[in-house]
Amino acid sequence: MPVELRKGGLHVSGTPLWLDARRKSELSFVSHAHTDHIARHERVIATAATLRIMEHRLGELPAKLPVPYHRPFKLGDLDVELMPAGHVLGSAQIRVTRADGHRIVYTGDIGFEPSATAEPASMPECDTLVLESTFGMPRFRFPPKEKVVDEVEQWARRALSRGVRPILYAYSLGKGQEIIHQLHARGLKICAHPSIHDVSMLYSELGVPMHVRRFEGEFDEGEIGVFPPFGRSPALKNVHPKTTAVLTGWALEPWAARRYGADIAFPMSDHADFPALMRCAKESGAREVITVHGFAKELAQALQKEGVFARAITQTVQMELPLSGDIRSQSELPL
């Protein structure tokens, strides 16, 4: 197997290189800075944006190798290249070309929907594709993002016109910035929880201008709140009247709003949906697809049915709840 699942995560066989290792390692590629993908490795390969956000979350890192997209470099006898993954700002796929010419791509979390705040994903041409499968079930087909943002805008404007405060639940890295950017572009005012605001300021620093006020206990007139999911911000207890909505790919499931403690759920995701994952697997040209995370078995089966040589390797390690990262497997769906 070109990659193997070890206790600490995925590892490129026969090399020192880990892929999004979950615990401290000597050398790991970090695809993006969601908390379930980062650790204080001795040496980190990532984009400059990912390293900046990682250091915001973990403090200064000992040895980091910032790598621009599409700039191949040598790592021992491997050729290594990072490519955009379209998931959050700075998110990357990695292509490792072994001395025998075999090309392995690990996608990390990947999204193909156009984003205002993340670099558009490249198609990962390779021989072995290690593909994330968060939404790897046929029932996950997301509507176009533009349409979802239209619905969010209408929902927010309706609430404001009735004197009700609209509160959106979105992860503090990625979805939070995307919805802030989209709603600002539509003339709305946003006030965000400090965790979301502070990452937004990093986005500005990294070249994606964000217009958002930091929540300090009070809203101004006409403002929409953007907060982390699950309504865990005590400050919101004093906000009346309010209506809440969560932005998540799981919105396609009937239980989503209730489990996130929201009144309504909108299907906005920074992950590829099932048709996009299938297309990615086929267009990559890979002779072998290894599915990881989420509905890995289901996606591998769907690919096999269409004649793609695919198999799943599944994580058994405990991952954190999707409060600050994102949902990774069925066993971690929010309750």
State which of residues 11, 34, 95, 175 lies at the interface with Zn ion (CB under 5 A). 34
Stretch that binds Zn ion, among 10-18, 142-150, 179-187, 325-333 (CB under 5 A): 325-333
Q: Please tell me the distance from the alpha carbon of residue 120 to that of residue 91, in angstroms, as a whole number.
A: 10
Distance CA 72, CA 82 (A): 7
Please identify, among the stretches 12-20, 43-51, 61-69, 320-328, the one whose residues bind Zn ion according to the rule CB under 5 A: 320-328
- Site for Zn ion (CB under 5 A): which residue of 20, 298, 326, 332? 326
- Cα 44 to chain center, whole Å? 19
How much is the CA Rg of the chain, to the nearest whole Å? 20
Q: Is 145 in the site for Zn ion (CB under 5 A)?
A: no
Alpha helices in the chain (DSSP H): 48-58, 145-161, 175-185, 194-205, 256-259, 274-283, 296-305
The rounded distance, in Å, linking the Cα atoms of 93 and 124 is 8
Of 124-143, binders to Zn ion (CB under 5 A) are: none
> Which is nearer to Zn ion, 185 or 317 (by Cβ)?
317
| Subset of 86-105 contacting Zn ion (CB under 5 A) | none
Instruction: Identify which range of 21-29, 181-189, 257-265, 324-332 contacts Zn ion by CB under 5 A.
Output: 324-332
Tell the smallest beta-carbon distance from residue 32 to Zn ion (Å): 6
CB of 146 to Zn ion, least distance (A): 22
Burial of 146 (0-12, 13-18, 19+ CB in 10 A): exposed
User: Among residues 29, 38, 80, 109, which is the contact residue for Zn ion, using CB under 5 A?
Assistant: 109
Give residues with Cβ within 8 angstroms of 53, minimum separation 6. Answer: 33, 89, 90, 173, 199, 202
What's the min distance (Å) between Cβ of 20 and Zn ion? Answer: 9
Positions touching Zn ion (CB under 5 A) are: 34, 109, 326
